[in-house]
């Protein structure tokens, strides 16, 4: 195996070779989703300008939008101070980042008024059955 380029060698992947990646809307700062990347996913993201993640459930690269068409065009990539979290500032194609058909995966808010529970506060923009065939 060839040595990693210097910029990639500076990234602190965990014991499974993964790093959490936060996707943030580049225009308004909304956190859209959190996923995982390995070195190959991060390298491909840099090379193509489109977000690529590592699917832990499928154990393969996941090119965001490959099924839904809701690609993430990467505007900027940042690394946190401990080099163990990636931030992608993206342009979200189609306005939907979540597999539930919502703009963001963070659509539930903890309501502590009365009985504490999670409340869905963001609308479904498109029926997931129509997104994923």
Reduce the DSSP state of residue 117 to 3 states and report it: strand
Give the range of the structural domain holding residue 122, as residue numbers without chain letter: 6-131
Confirm if 97 and 21 have CB atoms less than 8 A apart: no
In whole angstroms, give the CA distance from residue 97 to residue 30.
Answer: 11
- Judge residue 125's burial from the number of C-beta atoms within 10 Å of its C-beta, 0-12 exposed, 13-18 middle, 19 or more buried: middle
For the domain that residue 17 is a member of, what is the CATH number? 3.10.20.810
Q: Is residue 1 part of a domain?
A: no
Q: Is residue 65 part of a domain?
A: yes
Average pLDDT of the chain is 96
Q: Per-residue confidence at 4, pLDDT binned at 50, 70, 90?
A: confident
Confirm if 55 and 61 have CB atoms less than 8 A apart: yes
Q: Is residue 37 part of a domain?
A: yes
Run of H or E including 6? helix 6-9
Specify the DSSP class assigned to residue 16.
T
Phi, psi torsion values for 94, nearest 5 degrees = 80, -5
Residues 6+ apart with CB under 8 A from 120: 107, 108
Q: Is residue 49 part of a domain?
A: yes
Chain segment 60-110, per-residue pLDDT in tens = 999 999 999 999 999 999 999 999 999 999 999 999 999 999 999 999 999
Q: Is residue 126 part of a domain?
A: yes
Indicate the range of 1-5, 62-66, 119-123 predicted with least confidence.
1-5
Q: Please tell me the total count of domains within the chain.
A: 1
């Amino acid at each position: 195996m060839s040595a990693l380029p210097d910029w990639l060698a500076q990234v602190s992947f965990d014991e499974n070779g993964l790093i959490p990646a936060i996707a943030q809307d580049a225009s308004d700062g909304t956190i859209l989703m959190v996923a995982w990347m390995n070195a190959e996913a991060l390298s491909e993201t840099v090379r193509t300008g489109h977000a690529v993640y590592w699917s832990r459930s499928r154990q393969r690269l996941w090119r965001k939008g490959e099924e839904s068409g809701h690609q993430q065009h990467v505007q900027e990539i940042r690394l946190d101070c401990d080099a163990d979290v990636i931030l992608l500032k993206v342009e979200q194609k189609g306005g939907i980042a979540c597999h539930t058909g919502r703009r963001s995966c963070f659509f539930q808010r903890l309501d502590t008024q009365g009985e504490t529970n999670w409340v869905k506060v963001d609308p479904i923009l498109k029926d997931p059955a129509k997104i994923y065939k």
